[in-house]
Amino acid sequence: MIDLLTIVARYGRAAMVFGLLAGFALPQLAATLKPWLPELVAGLLFLNGFRIGASRALAGLREGISSLKAVVVLQMILPVVALLCFAGLGLLATPLAIAVILMLAAPSLTGSPNITQLMGHAPEPAFRLMILGTALMPLTVLPVLLLLPELGDAQTVLLAALRLSGTIALTVGLAFTCRHLLARDLKERMASAVDGLTIVALVVIVIGLMAALGPAFHSAPWPVAQWMLLALGLNFGLQYVCFRWLMWRGGRRIAVPTSVVAGNRNFALFLIALPASTTEPLLIFLGCYQVPMYLTAVVMRPIYAKALNPPP
């Protein structure tokens, strides 16, 4: 089994593309997996914490100020700027505006460290941004809630954010404890096996997340295509701009993980607080958003390779 998982880890990028295709081609399997998504995401988070370990995850606490700045810019300043732009255009109440603002206000995707590692870059900065961004989300989302009452009940969103923060804290704490007690010195072969198991979890999760997209594509292909273009542009565009900015500022070591976090956000959290009239198009957007997420390791890898090669 360990050898099989090691092989899966070796072909992780191809496996993630396979997951996307399976989500489209197997709608019944996607519908079966959908109710288990919270547990699957928690399991993925546990694997991340176990693989990285407390010592590596906390080793960058001295960079806490720079991580805090990144969270504030990505989760508070960007969505407020987008909100003001949409308000100026008279589009603030549209599903397009709400989708963009929610995506920008959300913390990092749980799988961002895995995506970063698949491209050969250190996952620890992405992991720290995910933890910090989720912990601060109840604060960073406040300006958006105050300026956009169309999102629904602010108390519901804040309570959901607090529950998410608590769940992540418990899961990561358990993962760190298990790593300390069971595998304090994780051998390379076992680490590769954990990476392979993580890839399997990512594949299963994306199949479940695509449950709403396949049927929607067959019934209304043009609206789905529009949402898909928006998702691709937002995800890859944010990653590229963030990467170029950090490289220009001399942040080569954190450029890739921060850029992956910039484009890959866990905005599904907000759906529970939205009016029912806005839920359906956002669910389609959520499905579309999985495509650039799971293609990041393929599409962005040549661009991010520049961070691996120091200048002459």
- Contact 140/132 with Cβ under 8 angstroms? no
Alpha-carbon distance of 149 to 65, in angstroms, equals: 31
- Contact 157/102 with Cβ under 8 angstroms? no
pLDDT of residue 231: 93
pLDDT of residue 238: 96
Residue 153 CA: distances (Å) to CA of 158, 270, 310? 9, 11, 49
Regions of the chain short of the pLDDT cut 50: none
- Contact 197/5 with Cβ under 8 angstroms? yes
On the 0-12 / 13-18 / 19+ scale of CB atoms within 10 A, 54 is middle
